[in-house]
Each structure stands twice: as structure tokens, then as C-alpha cells.
Amino acid sequence: MKKILFRILAALAALVALAVLALVVKFYVLSPKSRPAPTTVAPTSPEAIERGRYLVENVTACTGCHSKVQSDVPGEPPVPGMVGAGRDFGVDPLFPGHSYPPNITPDKETGIGTWTDGEIVRAIREGVSRDGRALFPQMPYMTYGRSLSDDDTLAIVAYLRTLKPVNNRMPRTVVDFPVSMFIRGAPAPLAAPPPPAPSPSDKLARGKWLLDVSSCHDCHDLVDSHRNPLPGKAFGGGIPFTTPKGVVVAPNISSDKATGIGAYSDDDLRRVFDEGIGKAGRPLYVMPWSYYKGLTREDKDALIAALRAAPAVANAVAPSQLK
């Protein structure tokens, strides 16, 4: 009996060892999946730079995450002189570690001044840093990998090159184990470049693209306790954000008339984008409307059309607790 028990335990130990070895190989040898950075070069024309500026400052709001911001001011505008210089998101009970989005100014010591255009493109859409490290998916590279065309991504690079260099070395984002292991398996090379953004003339398609590329889902989807989106609950709201002004809860922006924006008029929604004022007349914190207010009228109308078309999600969100 003792010999049988010993053999069983030995077999179990061998299985555990094999499982551990398989995890090590998968996540620390074979991951992250990446390819050499493309040799593509960003254009330098005024038109390309302006297209990049519009995307960075009004659509993707890259500088909202990569700048020190005035978090006690509605719209979280960047601190003057720190645009693109990196941000400390502080302690978030829903984040497995500590997030420090890096300096993306062209500073050569602490920013992306020595990165090639292709390395920046790969980081934006494939989630792999210059040194081969997997980026934490708070950087929405999976979204950009399906929504930013080659031309749009290179326009973003062109604009980032024009930012004022700021010498500001950021700590590397800290991710707790085992999440730090699992995120290594998330990046993947693009199978094919995404198609161009829909034309403003196709209002609904354009609006859906804007909802995606502007990362509206990241803050407004209804999620579980691990912050994973719940199927069929897009835009249901409820994620809490701790700010100097108190706890801000992302509202339900689905088309539900009782708990979402179904009862909002188009002018109510335009006021959100243009002034950062909710239907109840209160200023909006965390919501980066200070970036979205620069969207064209056509793009704002497209966003509104897409929100109207989104399925209704009945979810009464708790009110924000502001000081």
C-alpha cells in the first residue's frame, strides 16, 4: 500500500512539475508573441501631423493617460508643460499593481526620442515595447490593433514627434503575479492592417468606430469584480474611480430610457462633449470631455447616433460621491 501511495504521489508531483514547466515555457519563453518592428516611416507633411493631432488630442486621447493631469478639475486637463510626459495613476483597488503610463514625448533620455517609427507603431497596435516587454492592456493596443489603420497610426507617430520633449523618467508599471504572467500571453503580431476609418458620411459606422477607438467601453461597460466586461452589458456603467474630488462612478450610457441615456436629448449629449455637464447640470470628473470637445460636429453626431443604436442595458448606477 505504501508503495502504491508513493507512486501516486510521485506521479502527481511529476504532473505538477510538467504543468509548471508548461506555464514557464508558454509565458516566459514563447511569450510575448512579437515580430521585428516594421521599418515603416511616418510622414512629415502638415496634413499628416494635423491628422495625428486630431487623433491624439481628440479621439484616442493618448495624452489623457500619458500626461500628469489636474484630476481635481472637470475633464482632467493636462498640467501645463507636462503633456505626454507620463502619468502616475496612483493606487487603484481594481488594478493588480501600480500603473505608470510612460513618457511619450520625443525626449531622448526618458521618452521615445530614440525609438524608431516602427517600434512606436508596434507598441501602439501590438502591445510590445521597444525592449520586447509586453505592455499591460490598460494601454488599449488590442483595440488599436483592430481600429487604427496604417495611415492613422503613422499620423499619430508623426504628431508625437512634434510634442515638446520633457525630461521626465517614469517608473515602470508594476503588475502583481500571476497577472504579470498572464499578460505576457496577450500581445500578438497583426495578421493584417486594419481598414481605414469609416467616412463621416457613414454616420453609424463612423460612430461605432469612434466608440471603439476612443475606448468608451473601457470605462462604461458593466464589469465583474475582476473588471472583465460582462457579455451583453456594453455601456451599462458602474466602474468606480477614486479622485481628489471623491469617488466617481461611470454612468450607464446605453440607450436604456430609465437608467441610461435614452431620455437624453441630442443637445444634452452635446453638452456632455462640449462642456462636461451632465443632464442633471453637474460637472463631470474623470470623463475626458476636455479632449472630446475638440471632435468635429460630424464626429459628435456620429457618436450620438452610435450610442442611440447600442442595445439598452437596464442598470441603475450608484451616484458618484463627490466632496
Residue in the block written with cell 517600434: 119
Same domain, 289 and 171: no
Confidence of residue 228 (pLDDT cuts 50, 70, 90): confident
For residue 292, pLDDT over 90 is answered with yes
Q: Are residues 98 and 222 in the same domain?
A: no
Q: What is the pLDDT of residue 279?
A: 85
Residue found under cell 515580430: 35
Alpha-carbon distance 49 to 47, whole Å?
6
The yes-or-no verdict on residue 28 having pLDDT over 60 is yes
**Range(s) of the domain holding residue 311:** 203-322
Contact 123, 32 (CB under 8 A): no
Query: What pLDDT does 18 receive?
Result: 63
Residue 179's pLDDT band, with cuts at 50, 70 and 90, is confident
Looking at the structure, do residues 247 and 284 belong to the same domain, yes or no?
yes
Predicted confidence (pLDDT) per residue in 242-274, tens digit: 888 889 999 999 999 999 999 999 999 999 999
Which of 1-10, 151-160, 304-313 comes out lowest in average pLDDT?
1-10
The answer to whether residue 26 is domain-embedded is no
pLDDT at 7: 66
pLDDT at 203 over 70: yes
Judgement on whether residues 300 and 171 belong to the same structural domain of the protein = no
> Is there a domain that residue 272 lies in?
yes
How many C-beta neighbours within 10 Å does residue 102 have? 24
Question: 209 and 150 share a domain?
Answer: no
How far apart (Å, rounded) are the C-alpha atoms in residues 37 and 204?
34
Determine if residue 216 is left, alpha or beta; phi over 0 gives left, psi from -120 to 50 gives alpha, anything else beta. Answer: alpha
Q: Quick one: 178 and 233 in the same domain?
A: no
Report the C-alpha gap between 43 and 20 in whole angstroms.
Answer: 47
Residues 234 and 270 in one domain: yes
In which band, very low, low, confident or very high, does the pLDDT at 90 lie, cut at 50, 70 and 90? confident
Model confidence over 103-131: pLDDT tens digits?
999 999 999 999 999 999 999 999 999 99
What is the number of residues in the chain?
323
Name the domain count of the chain: 2
Tell me, yes or no, whether 176 and 62 share the same domain: yes
Same domain, 170 and 245: no
Q: Is the pLDDT of residue 17 over 70?
A: no
Average pLDDT, the chain: 91
Q: How far is CA 181 from CA 101, 130, 136, 177, 272, in A?
A: 19, 19, 11, 6, 39
In a domain, 40, yes or no: no
Q: What is the pLDDT of residue 22?
A: 58
87 assigned to some structural domain: yes
Amino acid letter, residue 106: P
Same domain, 173 and 71: yes
185, 213, 230 - which closes a domain: 185
pLDDT above 90 covers a percentage of the chain that reads 74
53 shares its domain with 179: yes
Asked, for residue 190, whether it belongs to a domain, the answer is no
pLDDT value, residue 49 = 98
Residue 145 lies in a domain: yes
Going across the sheet that includes 321-322, the strands are: 240-243, 246-249, 321-322
* Residue 313 within any structural domain of the chain: yes
Q: 464626429: which residue's cell?
A: 299
Report whether pLDDT(27) > 60.
no
Tell me the per-residue pLDDT of 142-161, one tens digit each, with 9 for 90 and over: 999 999 999 999 999 999 99
Core vs surface per residue 55-67: b (16+ CB within 10 A) or e: bbbbbbbbbbbbb
Least confident of 71-75, 90-94, 246-250: 90-94
Report if residue 255 sits inside a domain. yes
106 and 135 part of one domain: yes
Domain of residue 283, CATH code: 1.10.760
Domain boundary among 127, 158, 185: 185
Whether pLDDT at 21 is above 60: no
For residue 5, the model assigns a pLDDT of: 66
What ranges in 179-241 are assigned the alpha helix state H? Answer: 179-182, 203-213, 216-220
